[in-house]
Structure 1
Amino acid sequence: MKTFEETELCFPQLLNSSCRKTMRPYTFSILIYITLSSISLLTVTLNLLVIISISHFKKLHTPTNLLLLSLAVSDCLVGLLILFQIIIIDGCWFLGEFMCSMYFLLDYIITSASLGTMVLISIDRYVAICYPLHYSTKVTPKRTKACVYLCWICSSVFHCLVLKENLVQPGRYNSCYGECVVVVGHAFGVADLLLSFIGPVIVIVVLYLNIFVVAMTQARALRSHIAALTHEGSVSTNVKKSEMKAVRTISVVIIVFLICLCPYFGVTLSGQDAMLSASSVAFVMCLFYLNSCLNPLIYALFYPWFRKSVKQIVTLKILKSGSCDTNIMYTE
């Protein structure tokens, strides 16, 4: 018969060496498990639809959509990371010290790569709106792919260096068995903050301020000459409207992303030694997870091609021969 004190321990057999569980009412714990499991399933499913859509249909292989594909991959991985958050919801880590370090490494890489992708999306929209005549020559699918690969590689290499000590000696900073903690040195912590958050956010804000200034100038010019537009001018206007719609959509994605990500880095800044406990950042991590679930819903709201491609996937029409050549961008 276990005593009450033993039931509070992650590893009762280790007695004083074991961490204590976070005790919650049973019904509340079940509610948390169900909520996180639902978010995980929804996040993975929705982002897989985005990944399949852009990967399958050739008409969607545009530079902007390739960047959205990179974002969807990171969001899908976030959905899988939620499973680890479910495991440690009671404050106990049972997967070993090395897996703890790998969990944080993946978290760091995915977060950094997501922000890097947001920067690339901002640059893409900046060139499209501010230098439309040079867009097709400067921003190509090949260059976009190279930038995406470089973003993920740099993020992986840099955060392997940031967490090097934790990867070489997993669990060295744990105070008890069942704890999952990593510690980042001050220099690396500052570098990570500048390169993975402050720098990208500044670039995104500056680019979008320029985009909106140029967009508003173009809108006023179009309104002032609307009466004199020819047929060719109407086509140009439709192109401008399409570009502005893309800007609005991406703007919503980026604003929601920053709102969900800022608390995460706020918790990072609050630690004097940049120490993060897996159980102590549950709320901000869930907020970050929620953002990954929201992005595909934003696409469904603003992009007709995404709704059409989902219909093709659900009805299994993508299994037909030649379905990849379907003009999914065509609107009836």
Structure 2
Amino acid sequence: MSPLLRSPLAGSGPDLCYPLLLNTSCRLSLGPRFSASLLYILTFSLALLTVLLNLLLIVSISHFRQLHTPTNMVLLSLAGSDLLIGLVVMPLGAQYYISSCWFLGPWLCSAFYMLSYVLTSASVASILLISLDRYLAVCQPLRYASEVTMGRVQLAVGLCWSCAVVYNGGLLGVNMRGPPRRTSCQGECVVVVDGSSDWLDFLVTFLAPISTVVALYLQVFAAALSQARKMRSSWAAAAVGAAAAARRSELKAARRLGVVVVVFLLCYFPSLGFMGEDVSVNSAASFWSTFLLHLNSCLNPLLYALFYPWFRWTIRLIVTLQILKPNSSRATVLH
């Protein structure tokens, strides 16, 4: 689910997207040169930072064997969707929203929106898998140790991406039979999803998975409170020994990933204000809600750098090219 709107700076300027098509071309509306320049710098810098940070995270988890854990495989999925958002969706979306001109043709316009929808759905699915992983690790540790394997997590991630492609392909296919509809001029890229499809998308890609995420984390934090009460007794702490230490570690990981979930929800909620309406009217509001949603793709790796010392350490190893050394994949990065 992603706002599908025109430029927030669209106006009635004299320039045309296609000067040779005087009667059919959309108007090129960059607005005040200073404002447009600032928006270009802001959005493209954010896109570049998003790509670099998520690329570092993907290289870290993929290269170092010590990081090959079920939880990190889900983080790898989230980083993959964030990377593609920064690489494709953010720069193309920024160029179109700021100038109000789409220069890549109607079929790539459809592909752009398809990719935007798929990546957003994949991100929501990854957040759901993260919450399920933490729930099992904290609330059902014996089941987690025996049932949550690398193979099963990889299968779950693959199914999430496959379902995102099939579902969004069907959703947009119903609303786009051929090139994008309701195109009033050459250079416009607007895909209008009807109200019923929009609400179905809201239910499938937001309400159902996010409600599940909230329910799972409520149980995780209830377990954390219960564990804290038990730890107040020195006798109880001594009795459980290593098991208590392992449980505290899982709870600490759950709290860290809980911050990732909360930040995602805060970035996602503003876009819900456009549900069930033709949002092309409120283009400026849509631009900034979409910007905030995409900002989450940059915030995720920053949160990992803040909370996980191993990510800061692997960044140092990557930047200094130490990962090119023989057997660098076996380096100890968890301290």
Q: Which residue of 2 aligns with 1:122?
A: 131
Which residue is 2:224 aligned to?
A: 215
**Quick one: which of 58, 64, 77 aligns to 2:71?**
64
Change (3 A) 1:305 1:23: closer
TM superposition shift of 1:243: 1.2
Deviation at 1:50, TM superposition (A): 0.5
2:187 to 178, 188, 204: 178
Pair 1:293 & 2:302 matched: no
What per-residue deviation string (whole Å, max 9, x for no partner) do you get for residues 147-167 of structure 1? Answer: 000000000011111111565
2:255 is equivalent to residue 243 of structure 1: no
Q: Which residue of 1 aligns with 2:95?
A: 87
The CA deviation at 1:43 is: 0.2
Aligned to 1:26: 33
Q: Deviations over 1:26-48 (max 9, x none)?
A: 11111111111110110000000
Question: Among 135, 138, 155, which residue is 2:147 paired with?
Answer: 138
Q: Equivalent of 1:99, from 93, 108, 117?
A: 108
| Partner of residue 205, structure 2 | 196
Are the structure 2 counterparts of residues 168 and 221 from structure 1 closer, same or farther at C-alpha, using a change threshold of 3 Å? same
2:13/2:28 contact within 8 Å kept: no
Structure 2 residue 51 is the aligned partner of structure 1 residue 44: yes
Say what the alpha-carbon RMSD is for the aligned residues: 2.1
TM-score scaled by length of structure 2: 0.90
- Given that 1:6 and 1:12 are in contact with CA atoms closer than 8 Å, whether structure 2 keeps it comes out as no
Deviation at 1:177, TM superposition (A): 1.4
Q: Which moved more, 1:165-174 or 1:76-85?
A: 165-174
Unaligned runs of 5+ in 1: none
Q: Does the C-alpha gap of structure 1 residues 16 and 7 become closer, same or farther in structure 2, counting only changes over 3 Å?
A: same
Q: Indicate if the aligned counterparts of 2:43 and 2:94 stay in contact, CA closer than 8 A.
A: yes
In structure 2, how many angstroms separate the alpha carbons of the residues matched to 1:207 and 1:51? 26
Q: Deviations over 1:5-59 (max 9, x none)?
A: 8733322332242222334111111111111111011000000011000011111
**Residue in 2 aligned with 1:271?**
277
Match of 1:311 among 305, 313, 316: 316
For 2:162, what is the secondary structure of its paired residue? helix
Note if contact 1:109-1:156 (Cα within 8 Å) is conserved in structure 2. Answer: yes
Aligned to 2:103, the other structure's residue is in SS state coil
Contact 1:67-1:117 at 8 Å conserved across structures: yes
Q: Give, in whole Å, the separation in 1 of the partners of 2:312 and 2:240.
A: 30
Distance 1:227 1:189, change over 3 A: same
Which residue, 156, 173, 181 being the options, matches 1:147?
156
Q: Percent identity?
A: 45
Relative to structure 1, is the Cα distance of residues 237 and 145 closer, same or farther in structure 2, using a 3 angstrom cutoff? Answer: same
Of 2, 10, 13, the match for 2:17: 10
TM-score by length of 1: 0.91
The C-alpha deviation readout for 1:112-161, integer Å capped at 9, x for no partner, is 01001111111100111111122111211110000000000000011111
Is contact 1:126–1:211 with CA below 8 Å preserved after alignment? Answer: yes
Consecutive unaligned residues in structure 2, runs of 5 or more? 1-11
Q: Does the alignment pair 1:255 with 2:273? A: no
Q: Deviations over 1:172-217 (max 9, x none)?
A: 2212211111122444323211111111111111111111111111
SS in 1 for 2:191: strand
Equivalent AA in structure 2 for residue 67 of structure 1:
V
Write the distance in 1 (CA, Å) between the matches of 2:117 and 2:13. 34
Deviations 1:195-247 (A, max 9, x none): 111111111111111111111111101212x24544x7443333222112211
Aligned 8 A contact 1:67 1:148 in 2: yes
Residues 57 and 326, structure 1, Cα contact 8 Å, conserved in 2: yes
Deviates more, 1:305-314 or 1:141-150: 305-314
Offset, 1:321: 1.3
**How do residues 219-230 of structure 1 correspond to structure 2 at under 5 angstroms?**
219-224=228-233, 226-227=234-235, 229-230=237-238
